[in-house]
Amino acid sequence: MRAMKIKHYPDDVSQNFLKLRNQLISATGKAIGDYNMIEEGDTVLVCMSGGKDSHAMLMILLALQERAPINFKLIAMNLDQKQPGFPADILPAYLEKLGVEYRIVEADTYSIVKEKIPEGKTTCSLCSRLRRGIIYTTAQQLGANKIALGHHRDDIVQTLFLNMFYGAKLKAMPPKLATNRGEFMVIRPLAYCAEKDIATYARGMQFPIIPCDLCGSQENLQRQKIKDMLNNWEREQPGRINNIFRAIGNVEPSHLADVDLYDFKHLSHAQADDEDPMFDHEKFASNDMALNIATQDEKRIEFARKSFPIAATTEE
C-alpha cells in the first residue's frame, strides 16, 4: 500500500525552506499521533480544493507515508462544483504529473445553490451540506474510511470566534470527528500548523494554486474580518493565536457556564481539580500569607502586613 517514491520539493530550495518543511512534517505527524488520526490499513481520502492548504496537506502526508511505521493508502480527490471560472484542468494535470492516485468528482452544486438561495443571502450552509454528501459518497465508493481536510491551526481559531460572534456557541473545528453514522472519520492533519508557515512552504513548492474565493460567500467575508482581527492581535502580541489554539485543548468545564457540561446545580463542594487557587482558604490561613488579620469587631475587619525577617547576608 506504500506509494511510489515521489520528489517532494524543487532542487533549488534553501536550507531555511528545508527546515520549515521538516517543522511542518513534524507538527503534522504530532497531530496525527496525538489524535490517532491514521492507523494501519487506513484508506485516506485527501480532499483537494487546489488552495495552498490542501496542496501542503497532500505533500506532507505523502512524505509521512514514506517514513511511517504503518501502511496506509492515500487517494487525492478534487470536487469540481462547476463554479464559473473554475480552472478544471489544473489539478488533474498536476496530480497526474505527481504520480498519485486521484479522482476528479464533478457535481454541479453551484446551479443548485443559485436556484435555491435568494440573491444576497449566504450560500454556505446549503453548499456545505451538498459538498459534504458528495465527499461521503465518494469515500464510500472508494472504500476510504478516513477523510482528510486541509484546515490548519488558524482556521480552527477563526471558527471558534465565528461561532462565538455569530452563533453564541463555544465551538471550533476538532482535529478529529466521527461522521453522524460513524461510517467515516474526518481528520485535520494540519491542526498544529500555522497558516503563515503553510503559505511560505506553498510558495517554495510552487504549487499550482487555484483561487479559493470564487463563490464570494458571506461566510468568507465574515471569516476575513475575524482573520484580520486575529492577525492584528498577533502583531500586537506574537504568539496570541497559538495561545488561543492551546486554550481550545485546555478546557476547565467548572470555570465556564454550561449546565449540561458541568453540574453546577448540585455543586456543594469542589473536587480537587475544580478548586480555584484564588480562593484557597488553607493557603490563605497559612503562615505564607503576607497579610494577617490585625483587628476586628462587629463592624470591621482589618488586615495588616506581616513583618518579615530580613535575610542574613555575607556581604560587607
Mean pLDDT score across all residues of the chain: 87
Handedness of CA 173, 136, 89, 17 (dihedral sign): positive
**Position 210 pLDDT exceeds 50:** yes
What is the share, in percent, of the chain residues with pLDDT greater than 90? 62
Spatial separation of the C-alpha atoms in residues 240 and 123, rounded to whole Å: 31
Question: What is the residue whose three cell numbers read 476575513?
Answer: 224
**pLDDT bracket for residue 1 (50, 70, 90):** very low
| β-bridge pairing 176-178 and 291-296 | unpaired
Among the residue ranges 53-62, 77-86, 105-114, 292-301, the one predicted with the least confidence is 105-114
Among the residue ranges 115-119, 265-269, 279-283, the one predicted with the least confidence is 279-283
Query: 100-109, 190-199, 258-267, 293-302 — which one is most confidently predicted on average?
Result: 190-199
pLDDT of res. 121: 61
| β-bridge pairing 176-178 and 102-106 | unpaired
**pLDDT bracket for residue 316 (50, 70, 90):** very low
The b-or-e profile of 52-68 (16+ CB within 10 A means b, else e) is: bbbbbbbbbbbbbbeee
More confident residue, 266 or 98: 98
Spatial strand order of the sheet with 185-187 comes to 102-106, 73-80, 43-47, 146-148, 185-187, 176-178
pLDDT of res. 291: 81
Over residues 22-57, the pLDDT tens digits come to 999 999 999 999 999 999 999 999 999 999 999 999
For the whole model, what pTM was predicted? 0.84
More confident residue, 110 or 42: 42
More confident residue, 116 or 316: 116
The x, y and z cell numbers of residue 86, run together, are 473554475
Residue 18's alpha-carbon distances to 12, 99, 199, 201, 254, in angstroms, are 11, 22, 14, 9, 44
**pLDDT bracket for residue 158 (50, 70, 90):** very high
